[in-house]
Chains A and B, each alone.
Chain A
Amino acid sequence: MTELEQEIREFITTKVKKRLERFGLTDEAINDEFSLTESGVFDSIEFVELMTDVEHQFNVSVNFENYDPGEFTTLGGFSRCAAQG
């Protein structure tokens, strides 16, 4: 894992934890396979906002074109795609 990928992963994890707290849930299930969308933590519009936030924060251009949504909607997959640009 590159340094950038690790930073993006931490950035997203913080956001996930905050959202889980709002619903009174624990963060035990947060691993690389954690689905950001199917878990209900991010709905579709919030997922787009997450992408934009990551682009602004890390000055990257996220390109999901060659990735399967089953991959880029997970914590690990999103971080990897975003870091690779």
Chain B
Amino acid sequence: MNTDQTHPLSKAVIEGFLQAAASYPDRPALDVEDQRYTYRQLALKAAGLAGAIGEQPFQHDLVAFLANRSITAYAAIAGILMAGKGYVPLNPKFPKERSTNMYRQSGCKMLIVGRECLPYLPEFLEALDQPVTLLLPEVEDPDDLPAIPGQYTLIIAGDLTTPEKLPATPEVDPRSTAYLLFTSGSTGAPKGIPVPHDNLRSFVAYICRRYDFTPDDRFSQAYDLTFDPSVWDMFVCWQSGACLCVVPPASVMAPAKFIKDKELTVWSSAPSVPIFTAKLKLLKPGAFPDLRYSFFCAEPLPVSITRQWQLAAPNSIIENLYGLTETTIVNTHYRWDPENSESKNNIVPIGQVFYNHRYCIVNEDMKPVEPGISGELCLSGPQITRGYWKDPEKTREQYIAIPGQGERIWFKTGDVVQEDDAGCLYFLGRVDQQVKIRGFRVELQEIEWVLRQATRSDAVMAVPWPVKEGIADGIVAYISGVPGDRESEILTYCQEKLPDYMVPKRIFFLEELPLNVNGKYDRKLLTQQLEEGI
């Protein structure tokens, strides 16, 4: 636990869940893998894990878990927070090298593993090659385990003690880490962003004041736990005493039947989900009459799909949300009005900044722009995190002071916006080479770094493609100085290093990459050629 004495201790962010467990012990808290768990059941499972974490002789601020859309995943998150620690989610869909890099960077000593991830565990530990304490709450007999290499201490189901009553909320330094997530990094390694308890508490309080969620609500949980909007789903749901319904992996991109079958009232996803659902002819008028709220974030929201979703969910309020992991999930909201909403480039506005935050739109010289002029959005307020994980240089670049704006710290979002007369913000694009692929944040330099490693050629370029209404579906790569018969080998290397959404769909082998007038590789020309089908 972080024991910086300059900050008085306060209740950990898990307080909302534990209060709901005390108020509604027999109401459903979690619906996962077609099983329901009441608040009491989930809280006691989590408390068993918290007890095991607290008994460890070598304490660390963070505990990692490797679990996916299972009871262990959610019990681990609640249990780690109940132990006064911060959680680090790992994703079995990521290449093992990426996951071990994240684990090593976090400095964790303990790993909680779900039953569904046990087949992945041997190769993970082999690649990790360091001592680890494994907590396997669903394993009854060690003989049931696959052969596990390396040095490890094992804690299994029989070693856990389930308490008889609900635990008290631990007190933590409010600036200590509630969760540590990793995003795409431009230097080839994932970039860590620690989010403190006080940031998350501020966010959850704001959201629960703004919307009238009740214990009767049934929230979707569609995002992977390595992606920060998942934090929205869990903590807002549990703060409201509602039920979190975890979308099974196969239904994530086509959830129509799940929404109907589970009678969801609150939906949250990236816009790619309704776009894909519509393409499969599953977004039908009146399909989701129970939905009260639909929230979209993580990528631009096209007007056309918003209209289609409104027809499918006629009783739902639709909001477009915007934020970053560094600014604790979401910082703006825009309520869609089918009659009166305006848009730019057929993209729904990102709307107003949370009233407890400040914003400043700046030009390239970091000077505030005149009203109505586009520029980079900078945010300041209680949800702004304090920097990147163990990366002071990158922190200094992005967490800045703006001349003439006092001593407050601003986060440079890298997003270009424009404000209208009513203070409504419109997203126009990025200042750098970061893109969103199906909602996931991707630094093109990270893909290019991997391509350079694979090819030993410096002449590589990653281009988002195809892009429709501001949303990219994938990546294509351009490479020169390498024979075309190496495509299979290069793609295999990329698969070993990158999550699937970052692996190029196609590789074009050129004699030379085109240059622009500044002598740099011409990404615009390559994109234009793709558009023209050249």
CB-CB under 8 A from A28, the residues of chain B are: none
Whether the pair A44, B272 counts as a contact (CB closer than 8 A) is yes
Whether the pair B474, A43 counts as a contact (CB closer than 8 A) is yes
Q: How far, in angstroms, from A51 to B437 measured CA to CA in the complex? A: 21
Q: How far, in angstroms, from A32 to B489 measured CA to CA in the complex? A: 28
Q: Which residues of B contact A (CB under 8 A)?
A: 248-251, 253-258, 272, 276, 279-282, 284, 438, 466, 473-474, 487-489, 491-492, 495, 500-501, 503, 505
CB-CB under 8 A from A3, the residues of chain B are: none
Residue total for A at the interface (Cβ-Cβ under 8 A): 24
Q: How far, in angstroms, from A21 to B503 measured CA to CA in the complex? A: 16
CB-CB under 8 A from A67, the residues of chain B are: 257
Whether the pair B488, A69 counts as a contact (CB closer than 8 A) is no
Asked whether A35 is an interface residue with its Cβ less than 8 Å from the other chain, the reply is: yes
Q: How far, in angstroms, from A17 to B276 measured CA to CA in the complex? A: 24
A-B pairs, 4 with minimum CB distance: A70-B250, A48-B279, A24-B488, A69-B250
- The total of Cβ contacts below 8 Å across the A-B interface reads 70
Whether the pair A44, B492 counts as a contact (CB closer than 8 A) is no
Whether the pair A64, B250 counts as a contact (CB closer than 8 A) is no
CB-CB under 8 A from A46, the residues of chain B are: 505
Q: A48-B279, A48-B280 are in contact. Are A37 and B250 (CB under 8 A)?
A: yes
Q: A23-B495, A43-B474 are in contact. Are A68 and B489 (CB under 8 A)?
A: no
The distance from the CB of A47 to the nearest CB of chain B, in whole angstroms, is: 8
CB-CB under 8 A from B255, the residues of chain A are: 69
Q: Which residues 28-85 of A have a CB within 8 angstroms of B?
A: 35, 37-38, 40, 43-46, 48, 51, 62-70, 73
Whether the pair B253, A37 counts as a contact (CB closer than 8 A) is yes
User: Which of A40, A48, A62 lies in contact with B500, CB distance below 8 A?
Assistant: A40
CB-CB under 8 A from B505, the residues of chain A are: 43, 46
Whether the pair A21, B281 counts as a contact (CB closer than 8 A) is no
The distance from the CB of B460 to the nearest CB of chain A, in whole angstroms, is: 18
Q: A23-B488, A23-B495 are in contact. Are A73 and B281 (CB under 8 A)?
A: no
Contacts A/B (CB < 8 Å), 18 sampled: A23-B492, A24-B491, A35-B250, A37-B253, A38-B249, A40-B495, A40-B503, A44-B276, A44-B438, A44-B473, A45-B466, A46-B505, A64-B282, A65-B281, A65-B282, A69-B253, A70-B248, A73-B254
Whether the pair B474, A22 counts as a contact (CB closer than 8 A) is no
Q: How far, in angstroms, from A37 to B474 measured CA to CA in the complex? A: 15
**Best-surrounded residue of B254, B258, B492 (most CB of chain A within 10 A):** B254
User: Which of A21, A40, A62, A65 lies in contact with B488, CB distance below 8 A?
Assistant: A21
CB-CB under 8 A from A63, the residues of chain B are: 281
Whether the pair B491, A23 counts as a contact (CB closer than 8 A) is yes
Whether the pair B488, A38 counts as a contact (CB closer than 8 A) is no
User: Which of B256, B280, B474, B500 lies in contact with A51, CB distance below 8 A?
Assistant: B280
Q: How far, in angstroms, from A37 to B501 measured CA to CA in the complex? A: 12
18 additional contacts, CB 8 Å, given A22-B487, A43-B474, A46-B505? A22-B488, A22-B491, A23-B492, A23-B495, A24-B489, A24-B491, A37-B250, A38-B250, A44-B438, A44-B473, A51-B280, A63-B281, A64-B281, A64-B282, A65-B284, A68-B257, A69-B250, A70-B248
Q: How far, in angstroms, from A71 to B503 measured CA to CA in the complex? A: 26
CB-CB under 8 A from A35, the residues of chain B are: 250
User: Which of A40, A44, A51 lies in contact with B253, CB distance below 8 A?
Assistant: A44
Whether the pair A64, B491 counts as a contact (CB closer than 8 A) is no
CB-CB under 8 A from B272, the residues of chain A are: 44
CB-CB under 8 A from A43, the residues of chain B are: 438, 473-474, 500-501, 505
